[in-house]
Each structure stands twice: as C-alpha cells, then as structure tokens.
C-alpha cells in the first residue's frame, strides 16, 4: 500500500476541489462512453454518507448523476418483490446512480428491527449476490462502500445533532433505536459481509472517524476504480450576441424581492 499523502488540515478544501474536478472529468467520460456506474453508500447512522455524497455531487451535472434515497416503503411496495423498488433507479447509459442506503436495508435495519421475516431475510441473502452479479454482467459497474465509525464517535455526532438546530432533523427515532441496538447492528453487518462481499462487487470499508479525511479517501478511491480518460471536446466559441432595437420594461413593472443584503461590491447589472 502506498504511503498516505499527509495534508495540513487547512489544505482539505484545496484537495477536495482538485478531486471534484477529477469527478467532472470522470462524468464526462461516462457520458461519452455510455458507461453505467452505481455507488452504494452504507454504514451506521452519522457515519457521514450524506456529507460524502453531497461533496461528490457538488460539481457534477445532476442530469446524468442522481441520488437514490428511498423512504419507507408504501403499502403497495410492501407487496412487491423486494428488489423491485430499487431496479427503476439503476442508471441508463452515460449515467451515475448514488444510493444513500440501498437494498441492503433488508440486511440491516429490517433484520435488526424485525421489519422482515426470517424467511424474507434468508431469501435476500441468497438473491442479493446473484442479482449483483447480474448487474455486473449487464455492464453496470457496482461499487459498494461501508463507512465505519466507532461507538464513541457516533455518540459525539449524535450529541452534536441534538445541540445543533440545523442538524436536529437528521436524528430520527429509528436512529435512537439503532444506537440502543449497537451490537445487533454489528452482528448484522458482519453476516451481511459474509454473504455479499463478492469478487464481482466487493465491499470497500472506509475509516470514517474523521469526516473530511474519509471524504477525500473515498472520492480518490472511487476515481481509481473508474477507467476514465480525458474526452476530446471541440473548442467552445461564443456566437455574437443578437443586437437589435429593444426596450426593457420599466423596472417598477416587475415584482422584485426585498434587498435585505447588499454585498460591498455593489449591485448586479440587472441584465434580465
């Protein structure tokens, strides 16, 4: 294994920006070649899945990269084949799908909380590896990440969410129940890995004790897995702007929002 690149903490934003530019290059190659990429993010509550996905998305084109974060199944969805609600979200050619939690809910929260039967759980464990192999055979690149944190770090992040009004919404009753069943979740994760850590789509574990470090490491690793190259693009030449007689409507004929803030550089040109 290569020696880690030791960065001063102040260089985090600079390195993140560099990696985000590489993600843009990767997306351009995916669009140009018709590649299909699925990235699954799993891990304990507060492990940093959402923050990592947010940094990945930051510079990407949302038309060809989308996040899948499904809520509680509807009554109708509960009667479907378990994987059915996830299949429509798989990418078409030239697309990226980022799963903020995924079909692995059955191996985690549903297993621990008793939301599925033993028979349903065992069927999932048999079917999941076969289905993921089918994804890969069809040409989908499937990358699975497990963000790992300690009990102590999760406790600290839970407290931070309780104290921060901007983060309190992230703390659900299910999160609190999951904390009370820490060992149950650990055992469920170990069993999940035993069945689904397959050669065609292995699990990659991310040390997420430090959120910023985890983001850089995960993005760099993802970039290393996708065989992207620079895409030849014709130079962009702006056409001359149309010029002919035009009279703007009076400013007071339009409804403007109140200017509660004014930056020191002054107003914009109000060009329309």
pLDDT value, residue 264: 82
pLDDT of the residue at 166: 78
Q: Is residue 267 assigned to a domain?
A: no
Within a domain: 144? yes
The secondary structure of 222-240, three-state, reads HHHHCCCCCCCCCCCCCCC
**Is the residue at 91 inside a domain?**
yes
Residue 42 sits in which domain range? Answer: 9-225
Tell me the average pLDDT across 241-252: 90
d(CA 164, CA 156): 12
First CA to last CA distance, the chain: 55
256 in a structural domain: no
Residue 191 lies in a domain: yes
In a domain, residue 96? The reply is yes
Q: What value does the mean pLDDT take over residues 1-5? A: 72
Checking if the pLDDT of 176 tops 80, the result is no
Q: What is the pTM of this model?
A: 0.88
CB 67 within 8 A of CB 8: no
- Residue 172's SS3 state is coil
Whole-number pLDDT of residue 180: 78
Q: How does residue 228 score in pLDDT terms, banded at 50, 70 and 90?
A: very high
Query: What CATH number corresponds to the domain at position 157?
Result: 3.40.50.300
C-alpha torsion 41→42→48→51, nearest 10: 30
Q: Which residues contact 204 (CB under 8 A, 6 or more apart)?
A: 143, 144, 145, 146, 221
Question: Average pLDDT, whole number, for the chain?
Answer: 92
pLDDT at 267: 52
pLDDT surpasses 70 at 271: no
Domain count, the chain: 1
pLDDT digits (tens, 9 = 90+) for 23-63: 999 999 999 999 999 999 999 888 999 999 999 999 999 99
Cα distances (angstroms) measured from residue 185 to each of 30, 162, 179, 223: 35, 22, 9, 30
Instruction: Examine residue 92 and state whether it is found in any structural domain, yes or no.
Output: yes
**How distant, in Å, are the alpha carbons of 37, 39, 95, 260 from that of 251?**
48, 48, 43, 18
What pLDDT is recorded for position 134? 98
pLDDT, tens digit (0-9, with 9 covering 90-100), for 96-128: 999 999 999 999 999 999 999 999 999 999 999
pLDDT value at residue 133: 98
Residue scoring higher pLDDT (229 or 154): 229
Largest CA distance in the chain: 74
pLDDT band at residue 161 under the 50/70/90 scheme: confident
Q: What are residue 145's DSSP bridge partners?
A: 41, 204
Judged against a pLDDT cut of 70, whether residue 158 lies above it is answered with yes
Confirm whether 266 is domain-assigned.
Answer: no
Provide mean pLDDT across the span 159-181.
Answer: 76
Contacts of 79 (CB under 8 A, 6+ apart): none
Is residue 270 scored above 60 in pLDDT? no
At 152, is the secondary structure helix, strand, or coil? helix
Cα distances from 168 to residues 68, 161, 165, 266, in angstroms, run 22, 5, 5, 36
Q: By the 8 A CB rule, do 241 and 80 touch?
A: no
């Amino acid at each position: 294994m290569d020696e880690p690149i030791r960065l001063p903490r102040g260089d985090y934003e600079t390195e993140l920006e560099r990696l985000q530019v590489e993600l843009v290059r990767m997306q351009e190659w995916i669009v140009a070649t018709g590649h299909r990429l699925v990235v699954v993010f799993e891990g304990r509550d507060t492990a940093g899945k959402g923050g990592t996905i947010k940094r990945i998305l930051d510079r990407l084109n949302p038309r060809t990269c989308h996040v899948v974060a499904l809520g509680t199944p509807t009554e109708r969805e509960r009667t479907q084949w378990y994987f059915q609600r996830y299949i429509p979200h798989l990418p078409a050619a030239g697309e990226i799908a980022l799963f903020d939690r995924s079909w692995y809910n059955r191996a985690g929260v549903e297993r621990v909380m008793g939301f599925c039967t033993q028979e349903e759980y065992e069927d999932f464990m048999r079917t999941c590896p076969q289905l993921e192999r089918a994804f890969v055979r069809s040409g989908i690149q499937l990358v699975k990440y497990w963000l790992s944190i300690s009990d102590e770090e999760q406790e600290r992040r839970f407290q931070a969410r309780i104290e921060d009004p901007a983060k309190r919404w992230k703390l659900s009753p299910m999160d609190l129940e999951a904390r009370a069943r820490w060992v149950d979740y650990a055992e469920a994760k170990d069993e999940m890995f035993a069945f689904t850590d397959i050669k065609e789509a292995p699990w990659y574990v991310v040390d997420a004790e430090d959120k910023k470090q985890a983001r850089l490491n995960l993005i760099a690793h993802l970039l290393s897995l996708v065989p992207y190259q620079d895409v030849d693009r014709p130079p962009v030449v702006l056409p001359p702007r149309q010029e002919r007689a035009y009279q703007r409507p009076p400013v007071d004929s339009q409804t403007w929002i109140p200017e509660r803030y004014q930056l020191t550089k002054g107003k914009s040109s109000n060009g329309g």
